[in-house]
Amino acid sequence: MSSDELRQVFYTNLASIPAGRYCSYGDMASLCGVHVRQVLAWLRTLPADSNLPWYRLITGQRKIADYPGNQRQYRLLSDEGLIPESNGKYPTAYRWPDHSV
């Protein structure tokens, strides 16, 4: 698959994360068949006017990454009903795709 085709797979998977759910960077990388670093690179280069739900991607520890401006990500997830637990982790029940099967 070409890099453009892989990027489209990423966009499709990112758009597929339902509202009120989250996906880890690593799970997204597995879904796309790439290394997690590629997912992070694609996120950094999302068009400014993109409607893709980039904020639904969080760390494998079920936390929002520490970066300048991450309060916006907390707010966007909160607007969808996703609130971290007292330990700062998001509940596993809202992880996507569902890994309980």
> pTM of the entire structure?
0.93
pLDDT digits (tens, 9 = 90+) for 65-80: 999 999 999 999 999 9
Burial class of residue 24, CB neighbours in 10 A (0-12, 13-18, 19+): buried
What architecture (CATH level 2) is domain 3-94?
Orthogonal Bundle (1.10)
pLDDT surpassing 70 at residue 101: no
Per-residue pLDDT, 52: 98
Using the structure block, give the residue that is written with the tokens 């971290």.
84
pLDDT digits (tens, 9 = 90+) for 5-27: 999 999 999 999 999 999 999 99
Burial class of residue 7, CB neighbours in 10 A (0-12, 13-18, 19+): middle
Domain edges within the chain: 3-94
Q: Is the four-CA dihedral 15, 18, 20, 22 of positive or negative sign?
A: negative
